Amino acid sequence: MLAFVVRRLLVALSVAFTVSVVSFMLLHLSGDLATSIAGPEATAEQVEDIRKQFGLDQPIVMQYLHWLWDALHFDFGRSYYFQDTVMGLIGERLPITLTLGGIALAVATLIAIPLGVLAAIKQDTWIDRLALLIAVIGQAMPSFWFGLALIVIFAVNLHWLPAGGNATWQHFILPAIALGYYATPAMMRLTRTGMLEVLGSDYIRTARAKGLNERTVIFKHALRNAVIPVVALMAVELGFMLGGSVVIESVFSLKGLGQLAWDAIARNDYPVVQAVVLIIAVFYIALTFLADVINAMLDPRLRVR
């Protein structure tokens, strides 16, 4: 197990290093940063002063090494637009995005896994077709449209929940449902497929032949093996939620990391953009690494790969 963890950790670190290079280079390849920071009406002398002030006159390799060294010490500089430290801005916004992503993943899990198990047990029945219909609708419906529909129904008409903001836990219910429902179809279909495969295996037939209770066969023996690929997918979906929450955060006026990234891109705030891209990527890599470890714990056969 230790050798497996070390191998996966080395892969994760190499991917994180690659992401840091790509995120740094993409912004520098987009044009002259000094000109973008100074603005279209700046003189050549002002542009040159900004280039020296931010170290943009140095070789690109030295710029990257300085940026990486500072990033390893959680120093991403200051925001050009917000006039605050980048880590200060991220520290304020990150908990909101993590809370939204965590609740959304819980919503998706509570819907997808029971639906997938039920669809597999009741294969080719109206329950199975209804579960697949729910999955198709969730995959086809844009999350922002679903979020607006939730606001109209539950906030405007019924007055059950607030329409936006992040003051209380009630403010996260509607955006979490909108974000989580989009991740439900893939998790539900994978659970259903895994359960169908496992329920047709020899050891399940043996367990039933021994007279074990059907609930024990399904939840203790079948689901444990069927859920292994779902664990990896959950990590991927949570990464997508953290990175793609900007739309939901905009619809529900949540001042999270996605909204910060959107504001920074719109205003050419490059230090903030670089930091957000790197942090979301690191979270995504860490979640994938954690999913691999959990899968290896659930299925020892994966440790030899």
pLDDT digits (tens, 9 = 90+) for 2-58: 677 777 778 788 888 888 888 777 666 666 666 666 666 667 776 777 777 666 667
237 and 179 in a common domain: yes
Q: Which of 268, 283, 299 is the last residue of a domain?
A: 268
Tokens of 9: 């950790």
171 and 57 in a common domain: no
Q: What is the CATH number of the domain that holds 149?
A: 1.10.3720.10
Whether the CB-CB separation of 288 and 239 falls below 8 Å is answered with yes
Residue 25 placed within a domain: no
Residue 293 placed within a domain: no
- pLDDT of res. 31: 62
- pLDDT of res. 76: 81
Query: Would you place residue 100 in the very low, low, confident or very high pLDDT band (cuts 50, 70, 90)?
Result: confident
Percentage with pLDDT > 70 across the chain: 87
pLDDT digits (tens, 9 = 90+) for 236-288: 788 777 776 778 888 888 888 888 888 887 777 778 888 888 888 888 888 88
Average pLDDT over residues 221-247: 76
215 and 115 in a common domain: yes
* Per-position DSSP letters for 202-244, written without gaps between them: HHHHHHHHTT--HHHIIIIIIHHHHTHHHHHHHHHHHHHHHHH
pLDDT digits (tens, 9 = 90+) for 78-97: 887 777 888 888 888 888 88
- pLDDT of res. 298: 65
Percentage with pLDDT > 90 across the chain: 0
245 and 104 in a common domain: yes
Query: Would you place residue 205 in the very low, low, confident or very high pLDDT band (cuts 50, 70, 90)?
Result: confident
Residue 173 placed within a domain: yes
Residue 301 placed within a domain: no
Residue 276 placed within a domain: no
Whether the CB-CB separation of 220 and 275 falls below 8 Å is answered with no
- pLDDT of res. 299: 63
155 and 235 in a common domain: yes
Expressed as residue numbers, the domain containing 182 is 95-268
Domains: count for the chain? 2
